[in-house]
């Protein structure tokens, strides 16, 4: 799991400097940091992300660079164990963390009197970010499916595997061609596919590489919160709230059309552990805001900020009763339904593969279909 963050910056007069590290005791080797910097600037020196293996530090570094044309060229370095890859957390989560860190960094130097407080707040953010990444070790199945949907890389893998079985090497080559970028470690990228039983890995006699077989598929979309709808039919938590809630839900779903943008957005909400805790909690019943149970763990964001974000994305709705008490409802639930990929049977029949590969694919699909 992540060892910590090392934030560096490039200066024309002093070269590479360490802006901040968390935890503070993490060892920082400037030679290693220069290697990461060179990995970024080998091209045009523009901003972007790289993964660098550091033998001396016994770690991999997932590094985000703001670019040489930035006011201050910062590098946000997430220090990982050797062999680990940022894909294990989900591309969207890492991107969000990097963007938030850069926002804090860009505040430095604007008002020197506020720099100390900004650095203190940033350090607290780094601490919470590590905690958030640690929580992602224990994702549920629906969170892992959301992880797949939230990333263009993993959505592209799913599209490729819709066609037929591929070896890992073939898949990586096609993926790199479609994305126009180098894919460092396909194993970690495939992890959510394996853990959700969408894909089965298997060896075929006579071949030197493992094959990947799609045996299940899934959809993601919004749906009404069933338990809450049933409760409002009984006029709970109160007749006026029940009516207001049902009217709002009915109006929303009468115009609802799933889109890629919206589906990615709701997937990101499921993937965030703090938001997910509230979604699961509110599936059972609405709560008065002042009696809403805290997240099972220390929240990455404060409760009010989380609820405001969820309300903005039309996942929760806050309604007031006659006594002016705010109630929190799950406005739209999120469904991640898996299904048997019947469409792939015709693809297998016509796929230009050796017979034993197609036969094995059909055997795996038959096992799933009979369960």
CATH number at residue 164: 1.10.10.10
Indicate the residue among 138, 170, 190 that finishes a domain.
138
Q: Which residue has the higher pLDDT, 256 or 111?
A: 256
Please say if the pLDDT value at position 50 is more than 70.
Answer: yes
| Confidence check: pLDDT of 348 > 50 | yes
pTM of the model: 0.86
Whether residue 352 is found in the same domain as residue 206: yes
320-343 confidence digits (pLDDT tens):
999 999 999 999 999 999 999 999
Q: How confident is the model at residue 191 (pLDDT cuts 50, 70, 90)?
A: very high
CB distance 193 to 213 below 8 Å: no
Continuous H helices in 50-140: 91-105, 112-135
In angstroms, the CA 215 to CA 263 distance is 22
Q: What is the mean pLDDT of residues 204-211?
A: 92
Question: Token match 């006011």: residue?
Answer: 71
- Which residue, 138, 165, 188, sits at the end of a domain? 138
Higher per-residue pLDDT: 49 or 330: 330
pLDDT of residue 351: 80
Q: Do 207 and 329 share a structural domain?
A: no
One domain, residues 97 and 173: no
Same-domain check for residues 276 and 332:
yes
Same domain, 195 and 321: no
Averaged pLDDT for residues 100-109: 94
323: left (phi over 0), alpha (psi -120 to 50) or beta: alpha
Q: How many domains does the chain have?
A: 3
What is the predicted pLDDT for the residue at 43?
A: 58
Residues 103 and 196 in one domain: no
121 with 152, same domain: the answer is no
pLDDT at 353: 80
Apex CA 107: angle with CA 102 and CA 110, to 5°? 150
d(CA 290, CA 236): 18
Spell out where the chain has E strands: 4-11, 15-22, 48-54, 59-65, 74-81, 166-167, 199-202, 211-214, 217-223, 287-288, 316-320, 326-330, 333-339
Enclosing domain of residue 96: 4-138
Q: What is the CATH number of the domain that holds 282?
A: 1.10.10
How would residue 111 be classed by pLDDT, with cut points 50, 70 and 90?
confident
CA distance 138 to 147: 13
Do residues 210 and 226 share a domain?
A: no
194 in the same domain as 47: no
pLDDT band at 304; cut points 50, 70, 90? confident
**pLDDT category, 47, cuts 50, 70, 90?**
low
């Amino acid at each position: 799991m992540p060892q910590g963050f090392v934030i560096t910056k490039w200066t024309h007069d002093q070269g590479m400097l360490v802006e901040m590290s968390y935890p503070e005791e993490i060892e920082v080797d400037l030679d290693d940091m220069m290697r990461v910097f060179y990995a970024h600037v080998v091209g045009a020196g523009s901003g972007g992300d790289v993964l660098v293996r550091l033998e001396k530090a016994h770690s991999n570094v997932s590094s985000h660079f703001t670019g040489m044309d930035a006011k201050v060229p910062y590098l946000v370095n997430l220090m990982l164990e050797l062999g680990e890859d940022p894909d294990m957390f989900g591309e969207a989560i890492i991107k969000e963390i990097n963007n938030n860190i850069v926002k804090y960094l860009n505040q430095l130097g604007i008002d020197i009197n506020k720099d100390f407080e900004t650095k203190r707040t940033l350090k607290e953010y780094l601490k919470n970010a590590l905690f958030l990444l640690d929580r992602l070790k224990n994702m549920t199945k629906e969170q892992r499916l959301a992880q797949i949907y939230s990333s263009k890389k993993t959505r592209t893998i799913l599209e490729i595997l819709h066609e037929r079985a591929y070896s890992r090497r073939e898949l990586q080559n096609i993926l790199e061609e479609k994305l126009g970028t180098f894919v460092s470690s396909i194993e970690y990228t495939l992890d959510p596919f394996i853990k959700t039983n969408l894909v089965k890995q298997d060896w075929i006699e006579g071949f030197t590489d493992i094959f990947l077989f799609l045996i299940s598929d899934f959809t993601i979309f919004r749906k009404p919160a069933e338990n809450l709808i049933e409760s409002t039919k009984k006029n709970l938590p109160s007749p006026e709230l029940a009516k207001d809630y049902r009217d709002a839900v009915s109006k929303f779903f009468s115009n609802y059309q799933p889109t890629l943008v919206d589906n990615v957005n709701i997937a990101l909400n499921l993937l965030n552990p703090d938001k997910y805790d509230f979604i699961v909690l509110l599936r059972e019943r609405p709560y008065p805001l002042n009696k809403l149970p805290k997240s099972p763990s220390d929240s990455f964001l404060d409760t009010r900020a989380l609820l405001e974000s969820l309300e903005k994305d039309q996942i929760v709705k806050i309604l007031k009763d006659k006594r002016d008490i705010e109630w929190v409802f799950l406005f739209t639930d999120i469904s991640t339904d898996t299904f048997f990929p019947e469409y792939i049977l015709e693809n297998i029949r016509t796929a230009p593969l050796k017979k034993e590969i197609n036969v094995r694919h059909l055997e795996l699909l038959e096992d799933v279909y009979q369960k």
